[in-house]
A = this chain, B = another copy of it.
Amino acid sequence: MKLCKTINEIRQAVKTARSNGQTIGFVPTMGALHVGHETLIKQAAGQCGFVVVSIFVNPTQFEPGSDYNAYPRTLDADMELCKRAGASAVFAPSASEMYPQEVITWVNVERLTDGLCGQYRPGHFKGVTTVCDKLFNIVLPDKAYFGQKDAQQLAVIKRMVADLNMPLEIIGCTTVREESGLAMSSRNKYLTDAEKKEAALIYASLQLCEVLFEAGETDTKTLIAEMRKLLANGSNIKVQYIEIVDTQNLQPLDKIAGSALVVIAAHLGKARLIDNITI
């Protein structure tokens, strides 16, 4: 497995692979890799002959005052995981390699980014879409793999790719969970053991929502109220939002007809955690 620090190096590696007839898979990450990422990489390796994992803590997607500096950076362990999972190359550029001059070009997906996390993280999705556009232009993958855990991000990236006719396929992958049900996240590293136990209530509340829905409850206000009641058992959980939205346009629903996306964001200790299920 190759480690590329510059844009030229990774372009050259991809070019060689493509000239050998290999399909290019791409898993963009911010490092601090966990079993969730490993699953993405394995899925990519199963479908593509050459898999690139990018590891880049992208400054432009952290809103002011958030955890850019504190974000865990664990390149050596990440490299081990990538190798084990079947990656062909890791692209780990510096910030100055990615942003040699002031950023004045932005790719922005409107509306889909207004609600949910977008309203609490101003500028976040603009940073995500712009860096993904850059990474796609550098790696030129056939398929790129994103976790379902970041449901809004996945919807936004899919829409960007469609609207801008980007020549690649976006593949959303099932959220990987700890035994407790807690969704795998690099930010789980911020949690104490006690907080980790409480964090399991987040997925439990999503499961409760599904059970009530399956039993016939379609009123979203009622469902959300029941979820909040359950979460109140976690004395340190501060719910930021719980919403039940359309799976395509992410607009809030009053009643569920067909399917819906149930999304939750909560602060717990030093971490901001998000999770979701489609019901």
Contacts and interface: CB of A to CB of B under 8 A. Distances in A.
Interface of A: 7, 11, 101, 103-112, 129-130, 133-134, 137-138, 140, 159-160, 162-167
A241 to B, nearest CB: 22
Contacts of A140: 167
Contacts of A162: 101
A165 B105 contact: no
A272 to B, nearest CB: 26
Contact of A106 (B11, B108, B112, B137): B108
A137 B163 contact: no
Given A105-B159, A106-B108, A137-B166, 9 more contacts: A101-B162, A101-B163, A104-B163, A105-B108, A105-B109, A105-B160, A107-B164, A108-B108, A134-B164
A18 B112 CA distance: 36
Nearest to A133: B164
Q: Which of A101, A137, A163 has the most CB of B within 10 A?
A: A163
A102 to B, nearest CB: 9
B107 A107 contact: yes
Contacts of A159: 104-105
Most B-side CB within 10 Å, residue of A160, A164, A167: A164
Contact of A7 (B129, B160, B165): B165
Contact of A137 (B11, B110, B138, B164): B164
